Amino acid sequence: MTDTIAPPSSSSLRIGADIVPQGVRFRVWAPEARTAHVRVEADDGEYELAMAPEDGGFFSCLAAHARAGERYRFRLDGGAPLPDPASRFQPHGPHGASEIVDARAFRWSDHAWRGIAPAGQVIYEMHVGTFTHEGTWEAAIDALPALAELGVTVLELMPLAEFPGRFGWGYDGVCLYAPYHGYGPPDDMRRFVDAAHALGLGVIVDVVYNHFGPDGNYLPAYSRHWVGTRKSEWGDAPNFDGPHCAPVREFFAGNAAYWIEEFHADGLRLDATQQIFDRSAEHILKHIVRRARAAAPQRNVYIVAENEVQNADLVRAPERGGMGCDAIWNDDFHHTARAAIAGRREAYYSDYRGSAQEFVSALKYGFLYQGQRSAWIDKPRGSPAFDVPALAFVNYLENHDQVANSLRGSRLGELLAPAAWRAATAVLLLAAQTPLIFQGQEYASTRPFLYFADHAPGLAGHVRTGRARFMAQFPSIAAIGDIETLPDPADIESFRSSKLEAGERGSVRGAQALALFRDLLALRREDDVMSGRRRTRLDGAVLGERAFAIRHFGSDGLDRLFVVNFAVDIAFDTIAEPLIAVPAGCRWKLRWSSEELRYGGAGHVPLDPDGAWRLTSCAALLFVAERRSGTEESA
């Protein structure tokens, strides 16, 4: 049975260093320690204060003369000084001293901001360190107006918690309350969020609660109870259900609330939730979601989960036995799309044919695997999700993992013929599910995105070997067993080459891609039926091996017909499929084509739905039902 602990009732009861009217209150959990001290590095020299023991294994003290900007560490039982587990800033990395931060000093201008609701969102995944050449919050702010103008609504930030080294993805974070120092001080992140809100952009933070990073994690030095009995795929997992787990649970739930309270984040992306282990009466994920929402009762808090096994309970309401998240990543859509348009058939793609039927089913039902056996893992995959609304599935053609899971981190625009890339983009952005765009995708960036991590030499070797072992599941990668041919994650060039090149936006290719994204997102946002405002239902039909149609039924009978062909040209004299029949008293009018000249297309109209049907290869078309005039009807 899980023990419980009440959440802090005031800011003065938080762990870490908290500025209060009397000075700075320090508090730390170290249940096995007999004594604890805080060593403060003040402007006029160092001093040390004894901390008083409290119930539950906590120690605290008040430093009357400490102030923001000063550094500090804790010492347990006279041992070496340690950074604060709940440090708000590590200016010299996770091994250095912690810095006192006045979280209330920043002047926000987003008082009217009300957060982001689940409907109508377009997510943009961003890695701050590679999003701009400078790799800082300050530089990223300058790029935000272009994203807002494009039609993006939510920025999903790859993990921000302090990690070791000069660069990394962030999934091995070790100081969960400290934004990575290489991107800038905490107030720079606040300025970024404030600027995003001013432009109508929400911000959610990718958080990693499934394992502890291997370098710079000092939590076990404070208590053996931080680590659970089970290991995740990436290392030690937190103790969410064992003895003395209550402070551990509060640490993580409080962290979820922290990003929303102190940085005005609009929600979270929960990483690899299938590797979060908990047998408590209230699963830690449900606890985290509840605390995150309570952190901003006047705002809409948006929570997305990643779950490799596709457990739909994550997006069901708690009263229905669910975890209460708003959305879940949908690998099935990505895998079938890659199988169809890029010919991937190996490793985890081997369960997909990329057929028209798979596209239709993914666009209708979200997950393709809802409990059937997967040949790749040789066991059932997924869970029933027919009751889950479309907007709760997050679809993507690229994300950080899937781009990097190739030999050279190649972008999809580099791998595909332009026509196929345009058609696939249309499927992503006009689907009823919530789309996710990976940074640079909107202008068909040619910059790779590699796996990079700046670990110490010994650990770096293990990481390199592990990466090669992971990539060995893809037989097409010639580097199997030869780690020297793979880009080295610890090589700074792996990081530098992954930085976006802003000049690509202004190239002919970049301008054409931006026009494509801008027009599709405008359709998604402004068309009453495609936006879902007046859509009553949708259905789909297979027209060929990799050709299909999706019909969006409008409440006023003025439907939309979305037709896609990824195969060779197809000609029909007749089609025995009612979904392409024109509504009574109407005609199909072409609203949008992926072959338009401004996108780099051929410029021709690839289909006349009123005559014999001929589907041009690698094209996507959107038709609207338009009422015929009285003259046309009488004729």
Q: Are 593 and 624 in contact (CB under 8 A)?
A: no
CA 47 vs CA 43, 74, 80, 473, 567: distances in Å = 11, 12, 15, 55, 73
| CA distance linking residue 542 with residue 355, whole number of Å | 9
Query: Which secondary structure element, helix H or strand E, spans residue 462, and what is its range?
Result: helix 457-471
Is 306 catalytic? The answer is yes
- Given 125, 215, 306, 398, which residue is catalytic? 306
Spatial separation of the C-alpha atoms in residues 69 and 191, rounded to whole Å: 18
Q: Which of 330, 299, 295 is nearest to 314 (CA)?
A: 330
Active site residue 271: yes
Distance (Å, rounded) from C-alpha 322 to C-alpha 600? 45
Beta bridge partners of 206: 269
Other CB atoms within a 10 A radius of the CB of residue 493 amount to 11
The residue written with tokens 């690698």 in the block is 618
Query: Which amino acid type is present at position 302?
Result: Y
Q: Residue 554, SS3?
A: strand
Q: Residues 428-439, buried b or exposed e (16+ Cβ, 10 A)?
A: bbbbbbbbbbbb
- Residue 629: burial class (beta carbons within 10 Å; 0-12, 13-18, 19+): exposed
First-to-last C-alpha distance (Å) of the chain: 77
Q: Is 432 helix (H, G, I), strand (E, B) or coil?
A: coil
Report the distance separating Cα 191 and Cα 203, nearest Å.
Answer: 12
Question: Which position among 262, 266, 271, 454 bears the catalytic label?
Answer: 271
Instruction: Return the active site residues.
Output: 271, 306
